[in-house]
Structure 1
Amino acid sequence: MQFHHHGYVSSDPRVEPAAGVGVNRPDELPDEIDVLIVGTGPAGIVTAAQLSQFPNVTTRIVERRPGRLAIGQADGIQARSVETFQAFGFAERIIAEAYRITEMAFWKPDPNDSSKIVRAARTADDPTGISEFPHLIVNQARVLDYFAEFMANSPTRMRPDYGYVFRGLEIGDGEYPVTVTLEHTAGPNEGATRTVRAKYVVGADGAHSRVRDSIGCTPYGDKANHAWGVMDVLANTDFPDIRTKCAIQSGSGGSILLIPREGGYLFRMYVDLGVVPENDNGSIRKTSIDDIIKQANEILHPYTLDVKNVAWHSVYEVGHRVTDRFDDVPTDEIGSRTPRVFITGDACHTHSAKAGQGMNVSMQDGFNIGWKLGHVLEGRAPESLLATYSAERQVIAQNLIDFDREWSTMMAKRPEEFDSPSELEDFYVKTAEFPAGFMTQYQPSMIIGAANHQNLATGFPVGKRFKSAPAVRVCDANPVQLGHHHRADGRWRVYVFAPDANAAVNNAAIDASTLDDFASWLTTSPESPVVRHTPEGADVDSIIDVKVIYQHDHTRVDLGTVPAIFLPKVGPFALTDHEKVYATDPEVDIFAERGIDRRGAVVVVRPDQYVADVLPLSATAELSAFFAQNLLPQNASARV
């Protein structure tokens, strides 16, 4: 964490100085706002948290509840989400209070007595090291709390406006074209309605989204006609793996997905309630908690479950649905007008809870649309950027639905229906990258390059998230994870991997001067994205944060010879930022680990941590053209 560059800070450095709309922020919901977010679930709160970093954007987030969520239904936190938490500054704290999944146990009918279950296998949760971060279990309410804290500490001093429910909207013309009708759900004005006008609206209001309905989006999909009872309980049991994630299949055909919860005592069970008859008419949803517990005991035999307290329970039927689009622009009008209303999370994709994807994918929806709205509203990017939200996230949602349909179907199978005894655990291991959140790969667009130079950095696939790796910060010899310095502050990142003059490629010597030439171009050329897109008077790294990684030991890097673009002057005192210069870690060479060409490479990363392009240091025209299509010129001279 960096601070003091605006003056000495003696209080909590996580509390940023109020700026822009955060100065004298009104308590009451304004009549006119830039962005109105409906719903404080995972998708809505991440959208708001990202927008809270844009001081000149007025964002408000409304919630029908009178206060914070007390008990959340979601609890699975995939490693990609923990990477996102790191960007918002609270990964270490939430890891400390969460339950960490390290392995999964598979229980099956005893071959000698099918009325009993026995442990058949154990598999590591992340056998290939997909991420340096773990797979966690923690209450959704706590996740929302951390994001709410981040918002409150941001320059905009954002906080939820509780006690409002969305009733409808109309899209017209003018500076604030979306007119939204809200109704008070609590307080002295309960039942009264009011309207607000917004430039953009984000619907994060759940599976029964009224925002979705108001823009005519249609969910498509099906039900699996299979019901599950889910319960968070405190209980005594002789089942030996009660603190391990388990898939349990009984001889009777019933199954349980067991998820230990944070705190050391609480755990969640998804209990198979069987096939739902076509004429059920919702009766299965009336299954009592006593019946769910009874079914759990039958599946666990010969072990017993003595429930002492039920924190929460519900019954649901598996459904897989994704909407036809994620914004208000009909398919036949795409490209002809700018989207004004967006839907995120369960409002546009629903699925079973057993793959642990709902909250995780929803947060990535919010991260995606948040920075894009911020860039457009602050005049950094053209409005055409907003069309990429639906184009990118709908494909990801459909991939999720397809995966979840396969996983939930397998979880509902009877043991004798599998092609092989290890089919379930084999599938779990084989597909580990998808539920961990790392299969997302965005296709070429105005913000994703064509990957013509992917061979220069094979470990940073264009369109996929920037996979961190160890490096050493030169100024203080500290070992760090390079990706952990990518904060959710709305900035693009350019990682410059320096050539090694002592190496050779194809028997040809490497020209180390390409680094100096590239740095000089970034600093002075009118075509440089840093020069072209940095607002006048702003810090040189305020829009594009440029870092350099040398491919030798930190002791061989002389900071006195490092180009100025990597040692920028920032803040009102123009203090030198020394934390953008890195060297290879003696234990893990990032160049070898991520397949980076010894001649050097440039890796461009979006504000939401996805690799946007890989280029050679000589491709200045390509780099300039790439940024020119997704950032607007500011006609300023950057200060280095």
Structure 2
Amino acid sequence: MQFHLDGYRPGDPSVKEAHPAAQDLEAGLPETADVLIVGCGPAGLVLAAQLAAFPGIRTLVVDRKDGPLQVGQADGVACRTVEMFEAFGLAEQLKQEAYQVNEVTFWRPDPTDRSSIVRTGRIQDVEEGISEMPHLIVNQARMLDFLREHMAGSAARIAPHYGLRVSAVEITGGAGAAEGPDGPGEYPVAVTLEHPGGTSVVRAKYVVGCDGARSAVRTAIGRRLEGDALNQTWGVLDVLVDTDFPDIRLKSVVQSEAGALLIIPREGGYLVRLYIELDAERYGDLLRERAVTPEVLAAAANRILRPYRVEVKDVGWWAVYEVGQRLCAKFDDVPDGETADRLPRVFIAGDACHTHSAKAGQGMNVSMADAFNLGWKLAGVLTGTAAPELLHTYSAERQQVAQDLIDFDRDFASKMAAGSGTPAAASEDGEEQFADYFRAQGRYTAGLSVRYEPSMITGGGEHQDLAKGFPIGMRFHSAPVVRLADARPVQLGHAARADGAWRLYLFADRVGPQAADGPFRRLCDHLASAASPLARFTPVGAEPDAVLDVRAILQQPHRTLESTALPAVLRPRKGRFALVDHEKAFCPDPQHTDIFDLRGIDRDRGCMVLVRPDQYVAHVLPLDATAQLNDFLDGVLREAD
């Protein structure tokens, strides 16, 4: 974390000084907002937390509930989500409180007594090396607490407004592409909010519905959740238990003659979540009469776990749900065929546009990733640094991700419930196939398999061979390095903050900064020139890395280089005192595999790796491809006035 840029200030450095505009929203419900977010769940608060980095953007967050969530339904936090929380500076807090999933065990019917179960396998939960972050379990409500605290400590001082129900959303103008976000219809979306004191209307430039599966925003823009149920019903219990089951503190998949059970240990060392299959033959009448209780679920768990017992001492939360996969055809208000002539003004995210089962642990994670994808795009358009057409990429990218999730969830749910008592499932081949399936799907459940197709913000792969470990369209895979100026071992990916900036990582050739006329030096000179994208796209008065943050990774050991000899673009001056930022250059970490080897960087030629504000690789280019870099950014960013 960097602070004290504009002068020494005591106290918690994570709490920023309030922006003058922050006081406007503290007084009460405003008449206008740049972005109105409906819903204070994971998607809504991730979006609000990202927009909190832009105090000049007036962000309003409303929710129909009377106050913050106390007990959350979702609990699995994928590796990719922890990476995302690092961009907010919240990963360490999250890891400290959460349960870390390390291994998964598998239980099947005992071949000698099929009424009992035996352990048949045990595997590592997360593949080695796919992320520096672990798979965690933590109550959804606590994650929302962390995000609200982050928003409250931001310069924008964003705080949700509760007890407000959306009754109407109307787009009254300003939707044309030529008009832009600040044209004649500056606040073209009118949202009617009902509350105990009556009715209020807030006009907004953009509205984002993060208001769940029964989304009023989705209904207002004419979108529908479409799909089918799987005719599978599951109960879920968050409980404190006394048990002799040996794997109660390990993630465990149990398939017995009596049904299927998924055990998820919870944070704190005592709490555990049980997902319990409720088959129609045994529980049909209870389900139809809505007569399932925690006692019924506990009895079902005991039947499945025989010969082991589970005695429930306390129930923290419980629910019964039917497995179904439903998806919207589009995640914004622009009809098919009109994207060339109309810009989106209303968006939907999370459960408002895709629903699925909970057992794969993807719902909350994908919902937050929706918001993380959208937030920087809204910020870029509203601050004038990005072209409004950028907003079309949200639905195009995230709808495909949601479709992939639906397909995965259908397969995962079926395998969890299918054939638990059949001879094939109980065979050695069946057991091994089941464990292999979990291994194979590990990258998906870790949130690391998303790959965006080429678009205005994702380039082609003609130079992918220069950086094989940074696939274009996939998330930037961090690696250990040493920061040159202070010799501190760090993760390179942690240089990225949720601040809307693009990152340009310069992986130097073998000679690097030591050759005055080498490709690395020539590139740095270009980036410091008037023709540079930094000069063209950085607004007057903004910090030099506000839009494009340049970082360098050199091949030489850090003790052989002087940071003061680096090119000027890697020693930018910032703040009111024009202080040098010393944290832009890195070297290989001698305690770990060299990053050039680890990520398949061409040592002879080096390369540029351009990374989007949501941490996905936008392009890989040669060090001398300055024209290609400029052309690519020309398609996304707007020249500064």
TM-score, normalised to structure 2, is 0.95
Q: Which string of whole-angstrom CA distances, capped at 9 and with x for unpartnered residues, describes residues 405-457 of structure 1?
A: 00000000123254723222110001110010011011111111112211110
2:394 to 369, 376, 389: 389
2:505 to 495, 498, 506: 495
Q: What is aligned with 1:11? A: 11
- For 2:141 and 2:165, the matched residues in 1 are separated by 19
CA contact (8 A) 1:99 1:260 kept: yes
CA contact (8 A) 2:512 2:518 kept: no
Q: How does 1:277-292 map to 2 (within 5 A)?
A: 283=288, 285-292=290-297
- For 2:419 and 2:601, the matched residues in 1 are separated by 47
- For 1:303 and 1:429, the matched residues in 2 are separated by 27
Q: What is aligned with 1:570? A: 574
Q: Which string of whole-angstrom CA distances, capped at 9 and with x for unpartnered residues, describes residues 482-513 of structure 1?
A: 0011110111100001111299xxxxxx9971
Q: How many pairs does the alignment contain?
A: 623
Q: Which string of whole-angstrom CA distances, capped at 9 and with x for unpartnered residues, describes residues 102-140 of structure 1?
A: 000101111110111111110101133210110000000
* Correspondence 1:615 to 2:621: yes
Classify 1:617/1:87 alpha carbon distance in 2 versus 1 (closer, same or farther; 3 Å): same
Task: Please tell me the residue identity of whatever aligns with 2:454.
Answer: P
Task: Please tell me the residue identity of whatever aligns with 2:382.
Answer: L
Q: What is aligned with 2:141? A: 141
Task: Please tell me the residue identity of whatever aligns with 2:373.
Answer: N
- For 1:335 and 1:354, the matched residues in 2 are separated by 39
* Correspondence 1:180 to 2:182: no
CA contact (8 A) 1:501 1:511 kept: no
* Correspondence 1:198 to 2:204: yes
Q: Which string of whole-angstrom CA distances, capped at 9 and with x for unpartnered residues, describes residues 198-217 of structure 1?
A: 11100000011111111111
Q: What is aligned with 1:544? A: 548
* Correspondence 1:28 to 2:28: yes
Q: What is aligned with 1:300? A: 305
SS at match of 2:389: helix
2:491 to 471, 476, 481: 481
* Correspondence 1:231 to 2:237: yes
SS at match of 2:324: strand
* Correspondence 1:353 to 2:386: no
2:596 to 588, 591, 599: 591
Residue 24 of structure 1: how far off its partner (Å)? 5.0
Residue 561 of structure 1: how far off its partner (Å)? 1.9
Moved over 6 A (4+): 276-282
SS at match of 1:89: coil
Q: What is aligned with 2:456? A: 446
Deviates more, 1:277-286 or 1:212-221: 277-286
* Correspondence 1:378 to 2:389: no
Q: Which string of whole-angstrom CA distances, capped at 9 and with x for unpartnered residues, describes residues 134-176 of structure 1?
A: 0000000000011111111111110101111111111111211
Residue 334 of structure 1: how far off its partner (Å)? 2.1
Classify 1:117/1:221 alpha carbon distance in 2 versus 1 (closer, same or farther; 3 Å): same
Classify 1:60/1:482 alpha carbon distance in 2 versus 1 (closer, same or farther; 3 Å): same
Name structure 1 gaps, 5 residues minimum: 504-509, 636-640
Residue 288 of structure 1: how far off its partner (Å)? 1.6
- For 1:623 and 1:282, the matched residues in 2 are separated by 59
- For 1:423 and 1:46, the matched residues in 2 are separated by 37
Task: Please tell me the residue identity of whatever aligns with 1:379.
Answer: G
- For 1:60 and 1:383, the matched residues in 2 are separated by 21
Q: What is aligned with 2:93? A: 93
2:255 to 245, 249, 258: 249
Classify 1:285/1:342 alpha carbon distance in 2 versus 1 (closer, same or farther; 3 Å): farther
- For 2:433 and 2:229, the matched residues in 1 are separated by 24
Q: How does 1:414-433 map to 2 (within 5 A)?
A: 414-415=419-420, 416=422, 418=425, 420-433=430-443
Q: What is aligned with 1:263? A: 268
- For 1:209 and 1:434, the matched residues in 2 are separated by 27
CA contact (8 A) 1:35 1:59 kept: yes
Classify 1:199/1:286 alpha carbon distance in 2 versus 1 (closer, same or farther; 3 Å): farther
1:329 to 322, 327, 334: 334
Q: Which string of whole-angstrom CA distances, capped at 9 and with x for unpartnered residues, describes residues 328-370 of structure 1?
A: 0111212220001000000011000000000000000010111
Classify 1:74/1:102 alpha carbon distance in 2 versus 1 (closer, same or farther; 3 Å): same
- For 1:276 and 1:521, the matched residues in 2 are separated by 71
CA contact (8 A) 2:16 2:153 kept: yes
- For 2:106 and 2:116, the matched residues in 1 are separated by 14
CA contact (8 A) 1:227 1:284 kept: no
Residue 20 of structure 1: how far off its partner (Å)? 5.1
Classify 1:248/1:359 alpha carbon distance in 2 versus 1 (closer, same or farther; 3 Å): same
CA contact (8 A) 2:512 2:554 kept: no
Q: What is aligned with 2:179? A: none
Q: What is aligned with 1:213? A: 219
Name structure 2 gaps, 5 residues minimum: 174-184
SS at match of 1:422: helix
Structure 1 vs Structure 2: percent identity of aligned residues? Answer: 52
CA contact (8 A) 2:502 2:549 kept: yes
Task: Please tell me the residue identity of whatever aligns with 2:477.
Answer: K
* Correspondence 1:517 to 2:522: yes
- For 1:430 and 1:282, the matched residues in 2 are separated by 34
Q: Which string of whole-angstrom CA distances, capped at 9 and with x for unpartnered residues, describes residues 296-327 of structure 1?
A: 11001111111111111000000001101000
CA contact (8 A) 2:480 2:489 kept: yes
Q: Which string of whole-angstrom CA distances, capped at 9 and with x for unpartnered residues, describes residues 457-501 of structure 1?
A: 010001000000011001111111000111101111000011112
CA contact (8 A) 2:6 2:577 kept: yes
Residue 559 of structure 1: how far off its partner (Å)? 1.8
Residue 193 of structure 1: how far off its partner (Å)? 1.7
Q: How does 1:144-159 map to 2 (within 5 A)?
A: 144-159=144-159
| CA RMSD of superposed structures (Å) | 1.8
- For 1:607 and 1:9, the matched residues in 2 are separated by 28
